[in-house]
Structure 1
């Protein structure tokens, strides 16, 4: 099956809806799309005839790959406001690349899809709780030295690679804890999303080269038709969400979205616990 043959009309409609929703939520609430995309992509990949465990891994990899494109528009908007701490990005990026390589080329490839589904479920439940409580960490220290920032970047890149998320729920609290102003922490986290996504996506593509059972039009674990359609739709949806953020009460929406995340976490928990 060729790349374009894989884009049947029903699949395109599903991916367009998913991309628009993911982009809208990213613009509205400032979150990465991975947490929303992965559960639905898992179902879509299973409907394409992919084995359940492999469907989870492809969903994580494809969801992460979309962040390569969607992060660029977010970073541009933050950069125009002068909010990105590029000095921090430069110091954390090497560790992020190392952590991402360890995750995507090593641990991700070695773990089964069911195990990764459980890890994802725990991460999403934790993120939902953060969003529900809306608690900010106390700014109680300064950024660590070069070794500490290398380790911090490694942890952010590694864990993001296991769950297919842009790392914002880890990097923003870390930066605020290190006395970075909240608006700068959010903007800098958005900028960090690009190396996180790029390094992990390259690892997924390489690690999945010889995996059996991948559908046609795949680049390693990344399903290219889904990447193309979701990335295009997300770029369209994000500005709509950003405009809505100025007109809607964000705090109640965050709590509503936290409930959605709990439901998605429960679904992935089911995926991880059910028999292979």
Structure 2
């Protein structure tokens, strides 16, 4: 068991526990940039990692009654078929090929930048949509928008393993501003479980999951998330998210370069 992967899992776990941002935004670029792991393998392993960790989170939110299952259902209508189509496309074009690996690398960079936007501007976007209730979607239009959002997230997550965390939560806030913070978190985690599971199965089919790497990451991340959640209240959220956004922008620039 490579201790460097355990330490990396622990460090990412602490950041996830403190900020609530999905581990994919941090783990996948880390595996690609620092350890030189094939982008497709990094994505597939992280998706398997996410499907395990998010299942535990969903159980907790279900017990607390903070999951809007009607919204989860609509998101899955779009996300799950999109994940299957994206996996088939990766298989068709050769997910482990060098050229496709570069495309995946760019998709990771784009997803990271979307996460940065979500981190920095979520409150401002929510304030704007709250101040303009006439712009809020309703009824059938809202349902269709939710399915489309799910399809976009399903594609992003399957190709880059990033998008189900901060980006998904931001879309939920914009489409359903009446949800409480706990409901946003619970709903975002709940729909991500079947999405990451199907995407992970797709990458297993592609042969792009490193099971030993997955185990070492879990060994480090589980205590890391626990410790990060414990210290989350000690550091102002604004400072944490600002530092994380700056780190992710640097990651995106390195991925593109």
Which of the five TM-score ranges fits, normalised by the shorter chain?
A: 0.7 to 0.9
Q: Of residues 80, 102, 108 in structure 2, which corresponds to 1:97? A: 80
Q: Verify the 8 A CA contact 1:27 1:242 in the aligned structure 2.
A: yes
Q: Verify the 8 A CA contact 2:156 2:163 in the aligned structure 1.
A: no
How far is 1:232 from its partner?
A: 3.0
Counterpart-to-counterpart distance in 2, 1:235 and 1:41: 18
Q: Verify the 8 A CA contact 1:166 1:196 in the aligned structure 2.
A: no
Partner of 2:256: 269
After superposition, the Cα gap between the structure-2 partners of 1:60 and 1:70, relative to the gap in structure 1 and judged at 3 Å, is same
Q: Of residues 165, 169, 173 in structure 2, which corresponds to 1:172? A: 169
Counterpart-to-counterpart distance in 2, 1:77 and 1:25: 20
Partner of 1:64: 47
How far is 1:230 from its partner?
A: 1.0
Matched, 1:78 2:74: no
Partner of 1:142: 138
After superposition, the Cα gap between the structure-2 partners of 1:182 and 1:104, relative to the gap in structure 1 and judged at 3 Å, is farther
Q: Of residues 103, 119, 132 in structure 2, which corresponds to 1:115? A: 103
Q: What is the TM-score with the length of structure 2 in the denominator?
A: 0.84
How far is 1:164 from its partner?
A: 0.9
How far is 1:249 from its partner?
A: 0.8
How far is 1:150 from its partner?
A: 3.4
Counterpart-to-counterpart distance in 2, 1:268 and 1:119: 9
Q: Of residues 159, 163, 167 in structure 2, which corresponds to 1:162? A: 159
Counterpart-to-counterpart distance in 2, 1:15 and 1:95: 34
Q: What is the TM-score with the length of structure 1 in the denominator?
A: 0.79
Question: Mean alpha-carbon deviation: is it higher for 257-266 or for 100-109?
Answer: 100-109
Deviations 1:229-274, CA, capped at 9 Å, x for gaps: 112322221121111112221111110111111111122112xxxx
Q: What root-mean-square deviation, in Å, do the aligned CA atoms of Structure 1 and Structure 2 show?
A: 2.2
Question: Mean alpha-carbon deviation: is it higher for 186-195 or for 197-206?
Answer: 186-195
Number of residue equivalences: 241
After superposition, the Cα gap between the structure-2 partners of 1:125 and 1:145, relative to the gap in structure 1 and judged at 3 Å, is closer
How far is 1:147 from its partner?
A: 4.9
Partner of 1:181: 179
Counterpart-to-counterpart distance in 2, 1:130 and 1:88: 20
Query: Unmatched 5+ residue regions in structure 1?
Result: 1-6, 209-219, 271-276
Provide the secondary structure at the position in 2 that maps to 1:246. Answer: helix
Q: Of residues 137, 148, 153 in structure 1, which corresponds to 2:150? A: 153
The correspondence of residues 194-213 of structure 1 with structure 2, limited to 5 A, is 194-206=193-205, 208=206
After superposition, the Cα gap between the structure-2 partners of 1:108 and 1:256, relative to the gap in structure 1 and judged at 3 Å, is farther
Provide the secondary structure at the position in 1 that maps to 2:235. Answer: coil
Partner of 1:25: 15
Question: Mean alpha-carbon deviation: is it higher for 188-197 or for 164-173?
Answer: 164-173
Question: Mean alpha-carbon deviation: is it higher for 106-115 or for 143-152?
Answer: 143-152
Query: Unmatched 5+ residue regions in structure 2?
Result: 131-135
How far is 1:113 from its partner?
A: 0.8
Relative contact order higher in (CA < 8 Å, ≥ 6 apart): 2
Counterpart-to-counterpart distance in 2, 1:94 and 1:244: 37
The correspondence of residues 221-240 of structure 1 with structure 2, limited to 5 A, is 221-240=208-227
